[in-house]
Amino acid sequence: MEEDSHLANLYKSVSSLKGILNYETLAEVIPLSLYESFGFERTFLFLPQLEGLKYAASYLTSPAEGEARPRRPTEKLPPSLKDLTIKVDRNPQLKQAFREKKTFRQINPQKTFTKEKDLQNLAKTLDLESAIFIPLVLADEDLGLILVEEGKGEKLEEDILAILDTFGDSAALALENAHLYGETLKTSENYRTILEQMGDGVLMIEPNHQISFYNEEARKTLGFSEEELLGKEEHRVLNIFDLKGKRLCGEQECLIANMAKSGLPAGKAGVFSGEVFMETADKGRLPAFLHTRTICNVKGEVVGTVLIFREITKELELERTRREFVAMASHELRTPLTGVKGFLDMVLEGDAGKINPQVRTYLEDAYESTERMVRLVEDLLSASRVERGKIEFKLQNIDLLAVASEVVTDLSEAAKRKGLKLEIVPLRPSQVQADPDKLREILINLVGNAIKFTDEGEIMISFQTEKGKLITSVKDTGIGIAKKDQPHIFKRFYTVETTLARERHGTGLGLYISKQLVEGMGGEIWLESELGKGSTFSFSLPLAKGKK
């Protein structure tokens, strides 16, 4: 019956700890629960600090004889108690208790603790005659210590030590849960503060499509009130369009927020990034850069979507000004450069009379530099036309092999000067639907780059048909391109930052222009490369109409 009573008290004490997630409140409840369940009149809790275990909470009673026990502390704590520090490692008996996760009793601790100086000082401070020490341990982490004083002249049964062991396990688990909950709240609040203070607008959308969070920048940029945003379905508030006017969000659904609704591999998420127009509260359309990410749990289930956006009106205006300047400057430069190149060519051909070898060397260097400047201006003009959408494609059925052969003839002298083998692996038929001038420009860029970045070996142009497309590949044995550079190689003005690459005077525009031209004719362009072993640039174009 007594054992049943102890178990009932244990259940009562453990139950009192459940659901308490505030760390400070739990620290106060642990000593109180031992009093209310077992009647311990002096109970102390020590929790870890940087320097060691320090006093955190207690429950003390000092009833007069014949009086009922009060339910709140009446005894004053010794002032020096809060200054005591208990270091587990320098108290052998306590260290063993923590290692074994075992409660122990110490009779007359003021004298019997000889090596445990911290515990001896504690016993003297509290004037203990007998005490029980309950280590709080979870997953080998020391989470605290409970000290229970045995009443003067009384000694608890041995079996209650095992009961207190179990209570210690429950208290340790409750403390760890409260600590983690507090850290989670703190982290969550920190994240919320960061999001609130971001210069970009932030919206969070729940799986049920309701907007659960917005920051001030989002509200200010879009012009909506809290009532118009919070708790509302995203497609009823947000109207988002791509640059061509296609609706991405609004009316009946939000395609952006639905990106992953069809299911995703575990741990993956749907992502959208790009320039869009976002409709404001007054129905105006605001240019913005939008990044969204659909957040999924490890099972691939959607748990929400975050939208981050910023207005880019000023950036677009600056970009427009830049494009206009580049176009104007390029046009102004082309005419005088063409003239300089023509006159240098005439002098080198002897139209101005015989020239000595040294002067010829100078003139040839000047001619080569002028050619580079002309190519740069032409690239800038082409890039400017691409950006402004001013390129017109005159698609027709043409013989790609014939165009490639012309390019090889034009560039064969450049390849020969470097001792490179330049050849074509022919394919018949090789009819594609393309603009002949644009196709020639693409091939000149790719073959020219191959010659520029290859010092020895060969450059091979080959073809193959696949699924209604003709694939052209330009393979070289040059310096190759590092993995880190490959995702960026078709971006405007991107150049590989290596010593070998810098020596070749690249502008970073040829591949960008080639990509735009290929895609403008309904094809794709890609590369395969290994640093030090060469590169293969390939592009596809639709087969000529009527060809398969």
Confidence at 250, pLDDT banded by 50, 70, 90: confident
| pLDDT at residue 406, as a whole number | 92
Q: How far apart are CA 447 and CA 408, in angstroms?
A: 8
Q: What ranges make up the beta strands (E) of 314-451?
A: 396-399, 421-424, 431-434
Could you give the 3-state DSSP secondary structure of residue 484? coil
Could you give the 3-state DSSP secondary structure of residue 118? helix
| pLDDT at residue 260, as a whole number | 41
Check if the beta carbon of residue 421 is closer than 8 Å to that of residue 461: no
| pLDDT at residue 413, as a whole number | 86
| pLDDT at residue 548, as a whole number | 53
Q: Tell me the residue type at 141.
A: E
Using one digit for the tens of pLDDT, what is the confidence trace for 303-358? Answer: 788 889 999 988 888 877 777 776 677 667 777 877 887 888 888 888 878 888 88
Handedness of CA 486, 488, 490, 494 (dihedral sign): negative
The overall average pLDDT reported for the chain is: 82
Q: Is 235 exposed, middle or buried (0-12, 13-18, 19+ CB in 10 A)?
A: buried
Using one digit for the tens of pLDDT, what is the confidence trace for 436-473? Answer: 988 998 999 899 999 989 989 999 999 998 888 999 99
| pLDDT at residue 535, as a whole number | 93
- Per mean pLDDT, which range of 91-105, 333-347, 408-422, 429-443 is the poorest? 333-347
Could you give the 3-state DSSP secondary structure of residue 232? coil
